Amino acid sequence: MSWLSIAAGLIRDAMSSSNEPAEPVQQAPPPTNIAEVTDLLNRHRAEIDRNFEAVIAMLNAQNDRHQKAMQVQRRWNYGLAVALAIVTILAIVGYLQH
């Protein structure tokens, strides 16, 4: 799975799910003055900011899970290395005693 498909999936999920109830889409006529255009742009920017915050929260949670998994993997690697060293030493000692 490529990073682009993961990012696209995260963005799609963030845009489709929201903690706040969705605002109903209003079929309004196009803005007629600068104040309405400014208001429309501000609402659009606020929605984009909320979506980016959702994506950032999801990426942070994924990063935390990844870090914990790496710590567990590192512990297993150290444990297996120690076990391999012990088995090697025991095999050498057993070989030398026969």
The domain segmentation of the chain, as residue ranges, is 34-98
**Distance spanning both ends of the chain, measured CA to CA:** 53
Looking at the predicted structure, is the pLDDT value of residue 32 above 70?
Answer: yes
CA angle (86, 92, 95) in 5-degree steps: 140
Looking at the predicted structure, is the pLDDT value of residue 23 above 70?
Answer: no
Name the pLDDT band for 26 (thresholds 50, 70, 90).
Answer: low
In sequence order, the 6+-apart residues with CB closer than 8 A to the CB of 55 are 10, 11, 14
Q: What pTM was estimated for this model as a whole?
A: 0.52
